[in-house]
Amino acid sequence: MSCTAIQNHLLGCEHPTEPSAAVRAHLARCRACRAWYHRLLQLEERLPQLPVPPSVAGSRLVRQILETPSGSELPAPTLRPQLRLVLPPAARARQRRQQKVALAFALSAAMLFFAVCWWAWSHQGDPAGSVPDPNAGGNSSVVTVEQRTQQKRESLERRLQGLATPAARVDLLTREIAFLHGETRRQVANVDQLTVVARYHGQVVREYLLPQARALPVADRVRLLDAVTRDLDGIESEAERRAAELEANLPRSSAVLREIAATAREGSRDLRNLILQG
C-alpha cells in the first residue's frame, strides 16, 4: 500500500489506535508515515480535552420562564422538521475522511495557537527550567528541575532504606525504571517534566542500580539482572525511535529522549559485563 492509501485508510478508521497488521507493517518501515500517524493519534487523544463553548439554551429558558406572566402558558417550542439523507457506505467513509481532515487542520491551528499562548504565559517571570510544584495545591509555587529531581531521589532513598538485601533493592530499582519508562511516554511533549525524568533516570541507573547490582551474590546476578537489562534495551530502542520522530517538531524533547536512550544503553552494557564477570 502507498503512503497516501495508508493515510486515507487511517483517516477513515473508526479506531485509528488499532491499525491492521498491514498498516502496522507499513508504519514500521516508513518514517514519514510514522510521524504523520503520531500526529493523528495526538489529535485523537486531545480532542476530548478541547473546551466546549457554554450553552445559552438554559439561560434563555430561565429568562423566558421569569418573563412569562403568572398563570400563562409558556409558548411551545418551534420544531423544525429534519430530513435525514442516508448515504451509501462508500460515501459515508469518504465523508468521514473529509471530516477528519478538516478537523485535523482546525485542531492543529487551534492547538498551535494555544501552545504559543500557553508558552508565552507560562514563561513570563518564571525562572528557566522550572516546573509546577505538584504539592503546592492552588499556589503558584514552582520548583526547578534540579529541586524536583532531588525530591524524587530523596523519596527513592527512603524506600531503599527499608530494604535489607541487595536483591530486594535491585527489585525495587527495576520497578522504578519501569515506572520511569511510562513517565517518559506521558511527558514526551513537556520538555521540563521530561528533563526531570531524564535526570532522575540517569541517577537511578548509575548511582543506585549499578552499585546494588555489584553487591549481588554471583549466583543471583543472572536471575535478577537479565530482566532489567531487557527493560533498558526496550527503553533505549523506544527513546531513540521517538527522538527521531520528534526531531523536527519538538527538538528539545528529542534531545532529552536521546539522553534517556544513552543512559539506558550504558546501563544495559554495564549490567551485561557484570553478568559475564560472574
Q: Are residues 24 and 148 in the same domain?
A: no
Contacts of 105 by beta carbon, 8 Å cutoff, 6+ apart? none
Asked if the structure places residue 132 within a domain, the reply is no
Only one residue has cell 543512559, namely: 263
DSSP three-state, residue 131: strand
Q: Are residues 173 and 258 in the same domain?
A: yes
Q: Are residues 267 and 170 in the same domain?
A: yes
Asked if the structure places residue 135 within a domain, the reply is no
**Cβ atoms of residues 209 and 228 within 8 Å:** yes
Asked if the structure places residue 52 within a domain, the reply is no
**Cβ atoms of residues 204 and 261 within 8 Å:** no
DSSP letter assigned to residue 86: P
- Half-sphere exposure (Cβ direction) of 227: Cα atoms closer than 13 Å: 12
Q: Are residues 38 and 154 in the same domain?
A: no
Contacts 24+ apart (CB under 8 A), 144-149: 145/192, 145/195, 145/196, 145/199, 146/199, 148/196, 149/196, 149/199, 149/200, 149/203
Q: Is the pLDDT of residue 78 over 80?
A: no
pLDDT of residue 126: 40
Asked if the structure places residue 239 within a domain, the reply is yes
Asked if the structure places residue 137 within a domain, the reply is no
Query: CA 278, CA 266: separation in Å to the nearest integer?
Result: 19
Strand ranges (E), 117-237: 130-132, 142-144
Domain membership of residue 9 as a residue range: 1-47+94-110
Q: Are residues 241 and 188 in the same domain?
A: yes
Kindly report, residue by residue over 92-136, the tens digit of the pLDDT.
Answer: 666 666 666 666 666 666 665 555 554 444 443 343 344 444 444
- Half-sphere exposure (Cβ direction) of 78: Cα atoms closer than 13 Å: 1
Q: Is the pLDDT of residue 265 over 90?
A: yes
Q: How many residues does the chain have?
A: 278
Query: CA 1, CA 34: separation in Å to the nearest integer?
Result: 14
Q: Are residues 162 and 101 in the same domain?
A: no
Q: Are residues 105 and 201 in the same domain?
A: no
Q: Is the pLDDT of residue 86 over 80?
A: no
Asked if the structure places residue 115 within a domain, the reply is no
Q: Of 78-87, 134-143, 195-204, 264-273, which gets the smallest average pLDDT?
A: 134-143
Q: Are residues 155 and 241 in the same domain?
A: yes
Asked if the structure places residue 35 within a domain, the reply is yes
Q: Are residues 199 and 149 in the same domain?
A: yes
pLDDT of residue 266: 94
Question: Number of structural domains, the chain?
Answer: 2
Q: Are residues 172 and 264 in the same domain?
A: yes
Instruction: Round the average pLDDT of the chain to a whole number and report it.
Output: 75
Q: Are residues 105 and 151 in the same domain?
A: no
Q: Is the pLDDT of residue 269 over 80?
A: yes
Interval 15-28 mean pLDDT: 79
Asked if the structure places residue 136 within a domain, the reply is no
pTM assigned to the model: 0.49
Kindly report, residue by residue over 175-223, the tens digit of the pLDDT.
Answer: 898 888 888 888 888 888 899 999 999 999 999 999 998 998 888 888 8
Query: CA 241, CA 254: separation in Å to the nearest integer?
Result: 10
Q: Are residues 104 and 169 in the same domain?
A: no
